[in-house]
Amino acid sequence: MLCPQCNKELKFEGEFYSSIAELNSSGEIEGEVCITLSCAECNEELGEYTIELELDITNFSEDHEDENEHDLTVDLEDESFEEYVDTDTQLQHPGASATVHVSCICGKSISYAWSNYDEPEDVYKELGLA
Ligand SMILES: [Zn+2]
Ligand SMILES: [Zn+2]
């Protein structure tokens, strides 16, 4: 994929700028991470892109039998844009990572490392480049 502005091979640069994360009824954290992508070569802004955040925290709930006595809070820390290059295809997969901090009013808290990468084709499509 070539950059529509500079015609060089597209390398994403991104900015992790907002996120929503909350606990759903089945004890999983779900949310969305918004990322602005731009061409690493010429800084042309290519648009906005969303990455799904899903995290299973059933091990947090294990000693939380009576859910009514526990009130969980979800916070994101160290959010960042990331990418990895597939060594076979040489394709860049844009992604995001963060530390998901879950804490309860009873004092228990656990931090989870989260990251997610998407298929470049899907990103191109969402940005209208494909
Ligand atoms: Zn460019
Ligand atoms: Zn608790």
Assign 68 to helix, strand or coil.
helix
Residue 67's pLDDT is: 59
Predicted TM-score (pTM) of this structure: 0.81
**Is the pLDDT assigned to residue 69 strictly greater than 70?**
no
Any idea which ligand is nearest the CA of 108?
2
Work out the number of other CB atoms within 10 angstroms of the CB of residue 40. Answer: 17
Task: Show me where the domains of the chain are located.
Answer: 12-126
With contact defined as beta carbons under 8 Å apart, do 94 and 84 qualify?
no
**CA 125 to centroid of ligand 1, rounded, Å:** 17
20-49 pLDDT tens trace: 888 887 778 999 999 999 999 999 999 998
**Confidence bin at 115 (pLDDT 50/70/90):** very high
* Separation of CA 8 and ligand 2 centre (Å): 52
Output the CA angle 7-14-41, nearest 5 degrees: 25
Structural tokens at position 107: 């004092």
Alpha-carbon gap, residue 42 to 7, rounded angstroms:
10
Ligand nearest the Cα atom of residue 66 = 2
Q: State the distance from the centre of ligand 2 to the C-alpha of 16, rounded, in angstroms.
A: 30
* pLDDT at 24 (0 to 100): 81
40 CA → ligand 1 middle, Å: 7
Ligand 2: distance of its center to the CA of 56 in Å? 17
Q: Can you tell me the mean pLDDT for 65-76?
A: 75
Nearest-angstrom CA–CA distance, 117 and 83: 7
Average pLDDT score over residue span 64-76: 74
CA dist., res. 110 & res. 120, Å (int): 32
